[in-house]
Each structure stands twice: as structure tokens, then as C-alpha cells.
Amino acid sequence: MERAFTLVELMVTLAVLGVLISISIPTFMRAMWQADERGVQSDLRVAAKAAFVYSVRHGEFGATADELTELGEIEPALTFVDGATPSTQGSVISVAEDLGGLELALAAASADGDCFYLRLSQVTQEMRHADTPAECRAADYLDGPNSGW
């Protein structure tokens, strides 16, 4: 006599597999989302280090076209755009100068549209997260002349 699985055994197995899949897919998606968010934050920190290298060379931060080109040469893995141009992904960093080169605002967008901002001066850094703004631009994170942080 041949042994085989009964229909009930197959149905129970499929039900258990279905439950396991329904638990694992959201967990996997959340892990992917968190990895993307951390990648964007890391890209901003790398961009800040490139900006500090630039400021050591020139005595101030910069965001003109030539200065953005030099930032790209310092860190070729990132693309630097002016502060009015929105970031479309983590490796595209929007850069805006504040207080005549004493402060810099950086912005980068994650894959789901969240925007991360990083403000830096010669001595400090401040990161902020904004949920899905219309555009992820560094110019939106400037605080105005002499207003401090």
C-alpha cells in the first residue's frame, strides 16, 4: 500500500505557510525601508565630510556651480546639485549656502519620498527628517541671515 498525504494535511501545511509568509513580508519590507533611510542619512554624512574638506581648503563652505563641481571631485560617489534643485534620491545631494559661506544646508530624498536635511557650520551638525515634502531642496532648510539655529 502506498503512503500519501491526505488533503487535510496538505491544507494545514499550506495554511501554515500562508501565515509565515504573511508575517515575513511586512518584516522584510520594513527592513528594506529602514536600510534605504539609513543609506540616505549615511550619504548626507559623507556629503558633510566632503563639505568640511572643501571648507578646510577654502576657508568657507560653498554652493556655486564651480564649488559643487569640486565637492563632486572630493566625493565622486555623490552628485551635488544647487539648493533650488530637488534631490531625487539619496546619492543626489541638494546644497545651499547660508550666512555667506559660514553654514551649509544639505538635503537628500529617500526612495519613498521622505527628505532628510543636514545643516552644518564649521563646528556643528544638525540632522532633521521631513515626511514627504513637495520637493526635497536644501534651500527650504536655510534659516535666514544671522538668526542662528
The tens digit of pLDDT for each residue in 51-108 reads 888 888 888 887 788 888 999 999 999 999 998 899 988 899 999 987 777 788 899 9
pLDDT of the residue at 148: 44
Instruction: Name residue 93's beta-bridge partners.
Output: 80
C-beta atoms surrounding 55 within 10 Å: 18
Which span out of 14-23, 94-103, 124-133 was modeled with the highest average pLDDT? Answer: 14-23
Q: Structure pTM? A: 0.78
Strands 115-121 and 125-130: antiparallel
Q: Determine the 3-state secondary structure of 104 from DSSP.
A: strand
Answer yes or no: are the C-beta atoms of 94 and 119 closer than 8 Å: no
pLDDT of the residue at 61: 83
Answer yes or no: are the C-beta atoms of 68 and 47 closer than 8 Å: no
CA proximity to 104, closest of 86, 120, 92, 122:
120
User: What is the chain's Cα-based Rg?
Assistant: 23
**Percent over 90 (pLDDT), the chain:** 43
Rounded-to-integer distance, Cα 62 and Cα 69, Å = 10
Residue 67 Cα to chain centre, angstroms: 21
Q: Which three cell numbers stand for residue 59?
A: 576657508
Is the pLDDT assigned to residue 149 strictly greater than 60?
no
